């Protein structure tokens, strides 16, 4: 996000207290265009944030804006411009996907003919073909999630909020949904805010990730930044692990020993230095190298380290 661009959304000291719990606690965060992931364990405050951003729920204190519009006073305009895929199932069982999505398109102001055309296009884009004429009561979870996505996209929004879109899907269904979300962000050019408690999946589709826990901001950064600092080199030597570890540590490297394997933290500012240090140390000590491989940190690890609390799937 450039300094001059209007953020897709921004919050300032956003707090939401329910009688028994503080769902959001002085949250100050912003996201630019592209696909942004909002990660947090169950109850972290993700859905509450989305509802406030849509102007559906008032905050206790603080402020928020979406595409430059104030959520406190311009909720209607926000909902006109933004698509929303809610977490919970909300599909009437007796009508078809086509009827439902046409209805939603008309609700957002499209005339009937345009609504029918847009609905057909959108349902095709999300991968619902002939099934779209059948009552939705007989749909699989994957099909239902696609309909929910289609109704969020049918009025051609600039931005969509997708609340746990992979919920209830099997691994294949999850992969398909993630690919679809990526396409929404790239081919359709619609910015996306997508929530999940499954951290690994956001790593695959997001440009930027925001991590919240207990309603507080833990981290907000580009996906590259999440994993860049976490790169390590795995070094396996036949023997002499301890000497090698001592030598590298003495040279300023951060090293962990697990049996025959040494894990050396790669310097984010000068990755080449770490490789050279490992090569020189192995050579100077006359050790026999079995394996040297680069390991890219995973977003889960970053999250676990920052929270060191609740287990996250
Ligand atoms: N209307 C409400 N009344 C009272 N408490 C609420 C209400 N809505 C949410 N909460 C509470 O606020 C906290 C945050 O809920 P929220 O639904 O925003 O979390 P979440 O991160 O979306 O998790 P999940 O995916 O499980 O819904 C939870 O403790 C929840 O029980």
Instruction: Look at residue 292 in the predicted model and tell me its pLDDT.
Output: 86
Within 13 A of 245's CA, how many CA atoms are on the CB side?
Answer: 15
Task: Give the ligand 1 atom nearest the CA of 212.
Answer: 21
Q: Are residues 136 and 241 in the same domain?
A: no
pLDDT attached to residue 312: 37
Nearest CA to ligand 1 atom 17: 47
Q: Whose CA is nearest to atom 16 of ligand 1?
A: 45
Cβ neighbour number for residue 270 with a 10 Å cutoff: 10
For residues 251 and 257, the answer to whether their CB atoms sit within 8 Å is: no
ipTM of the complex: 0.96
Please work out whether the CB of residue 56 comes within 6 Å of at least one atom of ligand 1: no
- 78-112 pLDDT, tens per residue? 999 999 999 988 899 999 999 999 999 999 889 99
The answer to whether position 158 is within a domain reads: yes
CB 79 within 8 A of CB 60: no
Same domain, 75 and 194: yes
Q: Total structural domains in the chain?
A: 2
The count of other CB atoms within 10 Å of the CB of residue 200 is 13
Question: Is the Cβ atom of 47 under 6 angstroms away from ligand 1?
Answer: yes
CATH code for position 84: 3.40.50.300
CATH number at residue 243: 3.30.70.270
Whether residues 111 and 22 fall in one domain: yes
Domain with 34, as residue range(s), is 9-226
**Would you say residue 124 lies in a domain?**
yes
Is there an atom of ligand 1 within 6 Å of 42 CB? yes
Residue 312 resides in a domain: no
Tell whether ligand 1 has an atom less than 6 A from the beta carbon of residue 45: yes
Residue 239 shares a structural domain with residue 274: yes
Last residue of a domain, one of 198, 226, 254: 226
Measured from the CA of 215, which atom of ligand 1 is nearest?
A: 14
Report pLDDT for 301. 56
pTM for this one?
0.78
Mean pLDDT for the chain? 88
The answer on 250 and 215 residing in a single domain is no
């Amino acid at each position: 996000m450039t300094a001059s661009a209007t953020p897709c959304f921004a919050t300032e000291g956003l707090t939401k207290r329910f009688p028994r719990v503080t769902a959001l606690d002085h949250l100050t965060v912003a996201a630019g265009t592209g696909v942004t992931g909002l990660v947090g364990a169950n109850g972290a405050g993700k859905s509450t944030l989305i509802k406030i951003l849509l102007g559906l729920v008032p905050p206790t204190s603080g402020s928020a804006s979406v595409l430059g519009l104030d959520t406190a006073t311009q909720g209607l305009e926000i909902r006109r411009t933004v698509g929303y895929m809610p977490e919970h199932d909300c599909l009437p069982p007796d009508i078809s996907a086509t009827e439902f999505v046409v209805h939603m398109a008309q609700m957002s102001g499209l005339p009937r003919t345009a609504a029918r055309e847009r609905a057909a296009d959108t349902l095709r884009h999300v991968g619902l073909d002939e099934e779209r004429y059948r009552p939705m009561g007989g749909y699989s979870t994957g099909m239902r999630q696609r309909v929910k996505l289609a109704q969020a996209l049918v009025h051609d929004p600039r931005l969509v909020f997708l609340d746990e879109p992979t919920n209830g899907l099997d691994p294949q269904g999850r992969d398909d949904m993630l690919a679809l979300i990526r396409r929404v962000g790239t081919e359709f050019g619609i910015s996306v805010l997508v929530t999940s408690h499954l951290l690994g999946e956001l790593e695959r589709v997001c440009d930027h990730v925001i991590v919240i826990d207990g309603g507080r901001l833990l981290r907000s950064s580009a996906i590259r930044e999440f994993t860049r600092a976490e790169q390590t080199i795995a070094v396996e030597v036949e023997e002499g692990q301890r000497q090698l570890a001592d030598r590298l540590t003495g040279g300023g490297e951060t090293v962990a020993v697990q049996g025959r394997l040494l894990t050396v933290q790669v310097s984010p500012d000068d990755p080449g230095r770490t490789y050279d240090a490992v090569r020189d140390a192995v050579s100077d000590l006359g050790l026999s190298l079995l394996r040297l491989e680069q390991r890219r940190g995973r977003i889960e690890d970053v999250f676990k380290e920052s929270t060191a609390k609740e287990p996250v799937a």
